[in-house]
Chain A
């Protein structure tokens, strides 16, 4: 199994966010997590992204313990969160260069241009991201995924602020990743868009996670 969680519990003070979550996500699967506001979806993603330590329980990503072997886990994952993780005074290309350098990757100018073209930002390569709309920032974050080619992609509300073209780019990246035996975990409220690419969905409600399959569930069986 690529992602394994065992009895994960997270609480903030007296507030229990989720308790004893145990699940497994195999390689080549896109798992979409639904749930109402405050259900703990984002917190669960932040735990898997090694940004937040669980109160108790363990998890592993690609056989690396998420609590004790953070570096290999961080090398494998990429997390697109609510914030775009961009620097407003750098332009699109510079933001990509810096983000990749922090992962030990150094793409050429040609690769950067190709990647920006893929997310329809080719014409804005030299523009400071301060002047980008929320949707453009989201697209630029997707460009990082294309360049980084992570083994595990964690997406928090990936369709927010995106137009139809942006949604198509997102779903294309997700399909491409799962075809390469990568893993995608996303949280979203948009069931319609998510079920186009998800092999399995889950509902996080009152700290309990329940699973169900989608029409795409057979797609990952070949990997």
Chain B
């Protein structure tokens, strides 16, 4: 069975479903807007502190918003027990995983691209020179989160306390990605020379490869159990 066609079909199915229901994107956006507003009011009087913490604030918003999207990713498969059909389909499970992961990555990136201008506006960020690097950092960190988050979304979907278990399991594993993302974002926003923070970007790339490969191999086991 053609591996890449299965990936395409899973992405297509998730995108069409989301375009029609707008369930995941709207809840992610709503949550993220609240977070941005809370942070912007909290630091309204102290712009210096805000500038020092902005990379962390951005990633706290992105990660928790992403968890909302990841939580919904496999719960959609519970409708009419559709997950059973995926479990017993002869399609390569790795292709199903990659399709779900790409869908999650797209949703998270869309939300991040919509939110980042608000951070620029509320926190008065100067990003013109570093926009390309920032987008690369966002992509790499979101890929890492999506890779491991998709696996844990599948792992927790059939348990009762999945809303609690997903962040409990995901966040400890996502810590290295978050640290690397915050450090690289801080470097880019402060206009530091790339050589100073490039190791964090390399680290993100390594995490992405490890998380994607390991999750790809484990997914078959998780879907079958």
Contact = CB atoms under 8 A, between A and B. Distances in A.
Contact of B82 (A77, A82, A86): A86
A168 interface: no
Contacts of B82: 83, 85-87
B80 A137 contact: yes
A41 interface: no
A23 interface: no
B198 interface: no
A71 B87 CA distance: 11
Interface stretch (A101-109, A114-122, A159-167, A172-180): A101-109
B21 interface: yes
A91 B143 CA distance: 30
A85 B82 CA distance: 4
Given A84-B80, A104-B1, A51 B9 contact: no
A83 B81 contact: yes
Secondary structure at chain B's binding surface: helix, strand, loop or mixed?
Answer: helix
A75 B90 contact: yes
Interface string B48-87: 0000000000000000000000000000100111101111
Contacts of B9: 97-98, 101-102
Contact of A86 (B1, B5, B80, B91): B80
Given A89-B17, A104-B1, A51 B88 contact: yes
Interface string B95-133: 000000000000000000000000000000000000000
B20 interface: yes
A99 B82 CA distance: 10
B89 A103 contact: yes
B6 interface: yes
Nearest to A85: B85
The interface size bin for chain B is 20 to 34
A128 B84 contact: no
B172 interface: no
Contact of A88 (B2, B80, B81): B80
Most buried by A among B9, B13, B85, B89: B85
A50 interface: yes
Contact of A49 (B6, B76, B88): B88
Nearest to B21: A89
A70 B89 CA distance: 10
B13 A98 contact: yes
A81 interface: yes
A79 B85 CA distance: 8
A10 interface: no
A94 interface: yes
A99 B13 CA distance: 10
Contact of B86 (A77, A81, A90, A102): A102
A36 to B, nearest CB: 23
B16 interface: yes
A206 B207 CA distance: 53
Given A75-B90, A102-B9, 16 more contacts: A51-B84, A51-B87, A79-B88, A84-B80, A85-B82, A85-B84, A86-B82, A87-B13, A87-B80, A89-B17, A89-B21, A94-B16, A98-B12, A103-B1, A103-B89, A103-B90
Interchain residue pairs A-B with the least CB separation, the first 8: A83-B81, A104-B1, A85-B85, A102-B89, A101-B9, A89-B17, A75-B90, A74-B90
Interface of B: 1-2, 5-6, 9, 12-13, 16-17, 20-21, 76, 79-82, 84-91, 224
10 contacts: A81-B81, A83-B80, A83-B84, A85-B80, A86-B80, A89-B17, A90-B17, A98-B12, A101-B9, A102-B91
